[in-house]
Amino acid sequence: MEKINIAIDGPAAAGKSTVAKKVAEALHYTYIDTGAMYRAATYLALKNHANLDDEREILALLKQAPISLSYTDDAQHIFLGEVDVTDAIRTDDVSNNVSLVATHKGVRREMVKIQRELIKQAGVVMDGRDIGTHVIPDAAVKIFMIASVDERAERRYKENLAKGYEADLEAIKADIRQRDKIDQEREVSPLVKASDAIELDTTSQSIDEVKNEILAIVKEKVN
């Protein structure tokens, strides 16, 4: 079967990465999590006590410890220089600051450069905020995944509980709202539905239902 590239965008905790991973698995494609790249840049800046408003400082740090990705057992690993930071980038501190770092034009340019290298060979499911609008404007399938804020917060809450951590539901809601706002209002490549993207409201859908819906859309395109 001919291979295509699939772009999945949407707000925080809509289910993008969970579903994208399953779609990639079903199609034997590679799943690429672009949020991890902005998280890695943020982790690096925080670790070095950089001024997050100063993109030159962040870019200088990224020059010393460039971001790279590797794929083993179908899982994405992200590195800063030689250091694997796949787990280290998932802290609240990174989550609370990543949208600010992601507003910088130069930082975005560097991330997009890496992302475009990865899509040269088709067969990629890439998720993020600007994939359908900017990174892969010619993607054969573009999905814009949404869900209500309450549902998204509930999903994150349950995810934390499963990891043995009881988070504050209202705090999760506030984080989601704040990140969505910064992502939607930034000047460079804001979070917006591409005109040719298919919007999927997953508020009352299970992971498998969303996965199957996307696989049906892909099947229609490829055949």
190 in a known ligand binding site: no
CA distance linking residue 117 with residue 127, whole number of Å:
15
Residue 139 Cβ, how far from ligand CDP at the closest point, in Å?
Answer: 13
Residue 172 or 218: the one with the smaller Cβ distance to ligand CDP is: 172
* CA of residue 82 relative to chain centroid, distance: 22
- Where does this chain bind ligand CDP (CB under 6 A)? 10, 12-19, 34-35, 38-39, 95, 98-99, 102, 128-131, 155-156, 159, 179, 183, 202, 205-207, 210
Residue 4 Cβ, how far from ligand CDP at the closest point, in Å?
Answer: 19
Residue 2 or 87: the one with the smaller Cβ distance to ligand CDP is: 87
18 in a known ligand binding site: yes
Residue 81 Cβ, how far from ligand CDP at the closest point, in Å?
Answer: 21
AA letter at 76 = Q
17 in a known ligand binding site: yes
Inter-residue contact 144 to 198 (CB < 8 Å): yes
Residue 31 or 218: the one with the smaller Cβ distance to ligand CDP is: 31
Inter-residue contact 110 to 101 (CB < 8 Å): no
Contacts of 89 (CB under 8 A, 6+ apart): 36, 39, 40, 42, 43, 78
Instruction: Mark residue 13 as left, alpha or beta (left: phi above 0; alpha: psi -120 to 50; beta: remaining).
Output: left
Report the run of H or E that residue 60 belongs to, with start and end: helix 55-64
221 in a known ligand binding site: no
95 in a known ligand binding site: no
Residue 110 Cβ, how far from ligand CDP at the closest point, in Å?
Answer: 12
Tokens of 130: 């600007």
Residue 27 or 157: the one with the smaller Cβ distance to ligand CDP is: 157
Q: Which residues are annotated as a binding site for ATP?
A: 10-18
Q: Which residues are annotated as a binding site?
A: 10-18
